[in-house]
Structure 1
Amino acid sequence: MGCNDNLQPNQASQSDPPGPCPVTPTPLSSFTSANTSTVAGPTVSRIKVPVVLAEPTIQIPIETTITLNNPPATEIKRVTKNVFLDQVKIVPVAPFTRVDGTDFFTFSRAKLFIAGHIRKNIEYTQAGITSVCTVFLTDTVVDIPFTGFTELSVAAGTLINLPILGINESSESSFLSDVNNLNARLDKFFFNNLVKFNEQPFGELVAANFFELDFSPTEPAAEGFFITLTEKLVLELTVKVLQTQQLAVTLTTVVPNLPGLTPPM
Structure 2
Amino acid sequence: MSNKEHHHHNCVDLNTSASIEQCMNEGTDTPVTPAGTRLVRIPVNLGDFNVTTNMVANIKFPYPVSEIKDIKKRVVILQCRLMTRTSTGGDDQFASGPFPLFIKGYVRKNIQYATPCYNKAGKCVSSKLKSLTVKVPFECMTSVLLESPVQLPVTNTRSEFDFFRSQDLGKGYPEKDQFLSSDISQFHQTSTAAYNALPYCELLSHEIIEWDEATDRQSYHYDYDHSPVEEGHFHHVVEKMMVTFTVSVLQEQQVRITAG
**Structure-2 separation of matches of 1:177 and 1:45:** 53
Alignment match, 2:80: 88
Aligned-pair CA distance for 1:191: 0.9
- Equivalent-residue separation in structure 1 for 2:84 and 2:237 (angstroms): 40
Which residues in structure 2 correspond to 1:29-178 (within 5 Å)?
A: 44-70=37-63, 72-92=64-84, 98=88, 100-101=90-91, 104=93, 106=95, 108-129=97-118, 135-153=127-145, 159-164=146-151, 165-177=153-165
- Over 3 Å counting, the alpha-carbon distance change for 1:212 and 1:108 in structure 2 is same
RMSD of the alignment, in Å?
2.8
Distance 1:195 1:151 in 2: 29
Aligned position for 1:23: none
The Cα of 1:203 is off from its aligned counterpart by 1.2
Spell out, residue by residue over 1:120-162, the C-alpha distance to the aligned partner (whole angstroms, 9 max, x if none).
0111111235899854321111111111211123xxxxx1122
Could you tell me how far 1:178 is from its partner in structure 2?
5.6
Q: Tell me the SS of whatever aligns to 1:177.
A: strand
Unpaired runs of 5+ in structure 1?
1-40, 154-158, 253-265
- Looking at structure 2, the residues matched to 160 and 193 of structure 1 have their Cα atoms a distance apart, in angstroms, of 34
3-state SS of paired residue (1:171): strand
Q: CA deviation at 1:251?
A: 2.1
Q: In the superposition, relative to structure 1, how do residues 170 and 99 fare at CA in structure 2: closer, same or farther (>3 Å)?
A: closer
Preserved contact between residue 97 and residue 107 of structure 1 (Cα < 8 Å): no
Whichever residue aligns with residue 191 of structure 1, its letter is Q
Q: Which residue of 2 aligns with 1:244?
A: 252
Q: How far off its partner does 1:245 sit?
A: 0.6
C-alpha change, 1:101 and 1:208, in structure 2 (3 Å) is closer
* Percent pairwise identity: 25
Q: Any conservation in 1 of the 2:217–2:235 contact (CA below 8 Å)?
A: no
Q: 2:208 maps to what in 1?
A: 210
State the AA in 2 paired with 1:172: E
Shift of 1:183: 3.0
| 2:233 alignment partner, SS class | coil
2: CA distance, partners of 1:64 / 1:148 = 16
TM-score (norm 2): 0.69
Counterpart secondary structure, 2:149: coil
User: TM-score, structure 1 length as denominator?
Assistant: 0.68
- Greater share of strand: 1
1:184 Cα offset (Å): 2.9
Matches within 5 A, 1:166-205: 166-177=154-165, 183-187=180-184, 188-205=186-203
What's the secondary structure of 2:163's corresponding residue?
A: strand
Seen in structure 2, the aligned counterparts of structure 1 residues 174 and 214 have a Cα distance that, compared at 3 Å, is same
Partner AA of 2:58 in structure 1: T
Deviates more, 1:104-113 or 1:219-228: 104-113
* Cα distance change on mapping 1:172 and 1:99 into 2, 3 Å: closer
Equivalent residue for 2:172? none
How many pairs align? 203
